[in-house]
């Protein structure tokens, strides 16, 4: 279980953020997942993350080594995505991909679930899919966030996916990839927090572009924010990125 999954909500930090930026940067996974992003783009994001002290930099697996090296000594974590953005990859392949990312230096892994299984109400398949990755990730000393892709699920399916993540031993549930339409909503974060209880992390991602957006998500129960507008958020400005 990740420490911030349990302490960020309990500390009252979410309430404090309503009165200013507070330590909002510590909630943010500074994100660059565009397939066309190159090394210069990745290094720029790492520099920004070190400057603003974001929680992590989240990138595609090919950039994990680059990010880990660039962030050395900064205190910023390295995060990568698995089965991204569709989730329609066999579980053993997701586990293999996750193992490679952790070996390359990822501290955190954000995996996409088998969305078809969630829509079909197949909890067993969801648990198996998530557990295969969770066991691999935890064996490497990293933590697992589970992307349920809320925009493609109804509320019953969202609850099922969150319950499966808890049962499979995940550390976080996460709203969205940002690549399949929609994004984080206060309603979804509230539902996810209610479903997983107080001890699991909840990550709101997709469409969080301003301090007000981030504050609303944290107030609803989010303990992490995924955004490529992190700098705008900490400056109290309005970001323009779709993620």
Pairing of strands 172-174, 56-59: unpaired
d(CA 87, CA 111): 8
Mean pLDDT of 26-44: 97
Mean pLDDT check: name the lowest of 5-9, 51-55, 91-95: 5-9
158-209 tens-digit pLDDT: 999 999 999 999 999 999 999 998 899 999 999 999 999 999 999 999 999 9
The active-site residue, picked from 94, 145, 174, 213, is: 174
Handedness of CA 58, 207, 138, 120 (dihedral sign): negative
Instruction: Spell out the residues 6+ positions from residue 206 whose beta carbon is closer than 8 angstroms to its own.
Output: 151, 175, 176, 177, 178, 182, 183, 184, 226, 243
Q: What is the mean pLDDT of residues 33-49?
A: 97
128 is catalytic: no
Please pick, among 55, 145, 158, 203, the residue that the annotation labels catalytic. Answer: 203
CA 151 to chain centre: 15
In 3D space, the residue among 15, 9, 47, 49 whose CA is nearest the CA of residue 29 turns out to be: 49
| Residue 206, phi-psi category: left (phi > 0), alpha (psi -120 to 50), beta (remainder) | left
| Token code pair at residue 76 | 């910023």
4, 110, 188, 213: the active-site residue: 110
Q: Confirm whether 44 is a catalytic residue.
A: no
Assess whether 174 carries a catalytic annotation.
yes
* pLDDT number for residue 22: 58
Q: What's the whole-number average pLDDT of the chain?
A: 91
DSSP assignment of 184-212: --HHHHHHHHHHH-SSSEEEEESS--BHH
């Amino acid at each position: 279980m990740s420490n911030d999954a349990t302490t960020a909500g309990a500390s009252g930090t979410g309430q404090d953020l309503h009165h200013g930026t507070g330590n909002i940067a510590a909630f943010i996974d500074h994100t660059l997942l565009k397939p066309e992003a190159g090394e210069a783009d990745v290094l720029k994001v790492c520099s920004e993350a070190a400057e603003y002290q974001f929680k992590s930099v989240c990138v595609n697996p090919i950039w994990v080594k680059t990010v880990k090296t660039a962030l050395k000594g900064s205190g910023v974590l390295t995060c990568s995505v698995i089965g991204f953005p569709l989730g329609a990859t066999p579980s053993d392949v997701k586990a293999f991909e996750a193992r490679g990312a952790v070996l390359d230096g990822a501290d955190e892994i954000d995996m996409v679930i088998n969305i078809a299984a969630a829509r079909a109400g197949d909890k067993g398949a969801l648990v198996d899919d998530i557990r295969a990755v969770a066991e691999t990730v935890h064996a490497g000393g990293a933590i697992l966030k589970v992307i349920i892709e809320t925009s493609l699920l109804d509320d019953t399916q969202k609850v099922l996916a969150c319950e499966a993540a808890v049962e499979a031993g995940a550390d976080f549930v996460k709203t969205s990839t940002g690549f399949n339409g929609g994004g984080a909503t206060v309603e979804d974060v509230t539902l996810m927090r209610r479903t997983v209880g107080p001890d699991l992390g909840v990550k709101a991602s997709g469409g969080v572009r301003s301090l007000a957006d981030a504050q609303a998500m944290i107030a609803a129960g989010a303990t992490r924010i995924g955004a490529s507008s992190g700098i705008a958020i900490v400056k109290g400005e309005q970001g323009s990125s779709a993620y």
